[in-house]
Amino acid sequence: MRGRRFSVFGLCVSVGAALWSAGGCSAAPRDVALGEGGGGSAVSSTTAEAGSGGSAVATTSSGAAEFGGAGPEDPGPPIDVDADGDGFTLAEGDCNDGDRNVNPGAIEVEVLTPDGQGDVPEPADEDCDGIVDNVLPACDTNIAPADFDAIHGANAIDLCAVASPDDRRWGVLSARYVRGDGSPAQPTPAVGVLDAFGPNVHVQGGRRMLVLSSGHARVAGWPGACNNVSCTTYGPGEAPPGFPQDNPDCPPSSNINDDIGLELVLRAPTNATGYEFAFKFYTFEYPEFVCESFNDQFLALATPAPPGSVDGNLSFDSLGNPVSVNIGFFDVCEGCPLGTDELEGTGFGLWNDAGATSWLRTQAPVKGGEELTLRFQIFDTGDEMRDSTALIDGFKWVANGGTVAVETTPIEDPR
């Protein structure tokens, strides 16, 4: 999409200032196009040369007129004042205190597509670490399939930066695997970190993806694989408040089984306006149990709940159906638009009674710098039979300066 800009990642180390250089910073202010149509710009008013590394000097007209020469050197703005209101002062490492989108709590934004005039905007050092558009390597390269460390689960979906409660930089504050009621989950094969899901389904970011299952999160033939339509892990559970969500035209069910989730507490970058992630849902319930009480579900729950969510759930179709056997995105099955290739080698292709969605992308709004809890949850509904599995990957902060709404859409060209 033209002008769309996404984060590259990396925690922030602060240096200098751009409007008034401090502490040896050589960054200079620049106009920053944030999103489609411009979206906003940095304030650029000093005449100091980029890369000068010294303090900008202003000559006052009143001084020249009254005294016949240059006035006294202006020391610049106080370093303990947050001039742009982004939460960081010059003393705290804000290298451009005239641009709210540039500070140690921001995320690097890499612009690769031309703007409306056909120009690619000049790269900038949004996070004030002294490096422009620094892209860190993937953080999920060497995670084992059976790994049950929740921070590695965050890494698997491409959340690499770790934040601290003691500062205001963005990243993961905490991570844990939980049951539906929020209690800690014990290690089981319900969680997997895989580099592929069969031969035809690939990761959407980094080197691994997170797999959550109401059965076993393994592919057929691997150690710990279920090799059946049903494998019980946790047994009866308690769903999050407001769930399971029922289709009003179908029989309801309130009991759940084999519930497992990854719960993350995140701090958003100060220049973020939203976030997005990719997911794909498999179930043995499809198509036989469409519009029945056996309605296994995958949820993406955000707290605080953003406008447009359903009880905090971010992932649903255009009719408001949660991700379940009743969602409108089932494109992988016998007779479906994508056929059965993406069932092969997954364990869901061993029987004729299974289906999957295509890769989908959910996006949601966020306030820059806010802390939020994001939980990915899956469970069997109605009974413990006929398992379902969700693949989650490709988490990105959206920092394009535009408005982000809660929405789930198919990914047009997945990996």
Per-residue CA distances from 226 to 218, 232, 385 (Å):
7, 9, 12
The per-residue pLDDT for 76 is 67
**Residue among 79, 84, 82, 74 nearest 32 (CA):** 84
Query: Interior CA angle at 297 toward 346 and 307, to 5°?
Result: 125
Helix spans in 135-261 (H) = 150-156
Measured distance CA(125)–CA(14) in Å, rounded: 10
Residue type, 102: V
Measured distance CA(354)–CA(333) in Å, rounded: 7
Q: Is 294 exposed, middle or buried (0-12, 13-18, 19+ CB in 10 A)?
A: buried
Contact 28, 50 (CB under 8 A): yes
The per-residue pLDDT for 44 is 30
Q: Is 62 exposed, middle or buried (0-12, 13-18, 19+ CB in 10 A)?
A: exposed
Measured distance CA(222)–CA(230) in Å, rounded: 16
Measured distance CA(302)–CA(27) in Å, rounded: 37
Query: Helix, strand, or coil here: 380?
Result: strand
Residues 6+ apart with CB under 8 A from 14: 88, 92, 93, 94, 95, 103, 104, 128, 129
> Can you list the residues of the chain whose pLDDT is less than 50?
1-68
The per-residue pLDDT for 70 is 57
35-60 burial by CB neighbour count: b if 16+ within 10 A, else e? Answer: bbeebeebbbebebeeeeeebbebee
Residues 6+ apart with CB under 8 A from 116: 2, 3, 37, 38
Structure tokens given for 390 = 């969700």
Structure tokens given for 84 = 């742009």
Q: Are strands 297-303 and 274-283 parallel, antiparallel or unpaired?
A: unpaired
82-102 burial by CB neighbour count: b if 16+ within 10 A, else e? Answer: bbbebbbbbebbbbbbbbbbb
Residues 6+ apart with CB under 8 A from 251: 291, 292, 293
